[in-house]
């Protein structure tokens, strides 16, 4: 049972435009969400996070939006740059009957930003 879903395996955008990566989750106990970026042959790099008490968090060109009622979050990258081309993973954590903050990851979305 996949609790974190990234339904788009890939996304292609033009340099300078907005990239929107989507993520859905099913576990209502999740209350902390993160986005990681991964280049080939490297480990994932933390990008941005959001707690369930917020609906938006911004860091430079990156903004994460959380819609708790829809169990949906999205990552907006504006403007997109060729160096943003990578696989983006959505991750979630929360408690379920005790201390259990392990991260559950989606399968990733490959973003390609074309010059």
Partner 1 sequence: KAGVTQTPRYLIKTRGQQVTLSCSPISGHRSVSWYQQTPGQGLQFLFEYFSETQRNKGNFPGRFSGRQFSNSRSEMNVSTLELGDSALYLCASSRVAGRETQYFGPGTRLLVL
Contact set with partner 1 (CB under 8 A): 32, 34, 36, 41-46, 49, 89, 91, 93, 99-108
CA-CA-CA-CA dihedral for 46, 52, 56, 60, to nearest 10: -20
Q: Is cis: bond before 79, omega within 30 of 0?
A: yes
- Distance, in Å, from the CA atom of 46 to the CA atom of 88, rounded to the nearest integer, reads 10
Nearer to partner 1, 45 or 114 (CB): 45
Nearer to partner 1, 16 or 101 (CB): 101
Nearer to partner 1, 6 or 80 (CB): 6
Q: From the CB of 13, what's the least distance to partner 1, in Å?
A: 22
Nearer to partner 1, 15 or 49 (CB): 49
Q: From the CB of 101, what's the least distance to partner 1, in Å?
A: 5
- Distance, in Å, from the CA atom of 95 to the CA atom of 82, rounded to the nearest integer, reads 37
Q: From the CB of 17, what's the least distance to partner 1, in Å?
A: 27
- Distance, in Å, from the CA atom of 58 to the CA atom of 40, rounded to the nearest integer, reads 26
Buried b (16+ CB within 10 A) or exposed e, 87-100: bbbbbbbbeeeeee
């Amino acid at each position: 049972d996949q609790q974190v879903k990234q339904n788009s395996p890939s996304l292609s955008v033009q340099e300078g435009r907005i990239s929107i990566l989507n993520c859905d989750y099913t576990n209502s106990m999740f209350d902390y969400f993160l986005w990681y970026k991964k280049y080939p042959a490297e480990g994932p790099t933390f990008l941005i996070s959001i707690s369930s008490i917020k609906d938006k968090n911004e860091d430079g060109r990156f903004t994460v939006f959380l819609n708790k009622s829809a169990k949906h979050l999205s990552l907006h990258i504006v403007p997109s740059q060729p160096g943003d081309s990578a696989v983006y993973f959505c991750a979630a954590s929360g408690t379920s009957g005790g201390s259990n903050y392990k991260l559950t990851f989606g399968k990733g979305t490959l973003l390609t930003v074309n010059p």
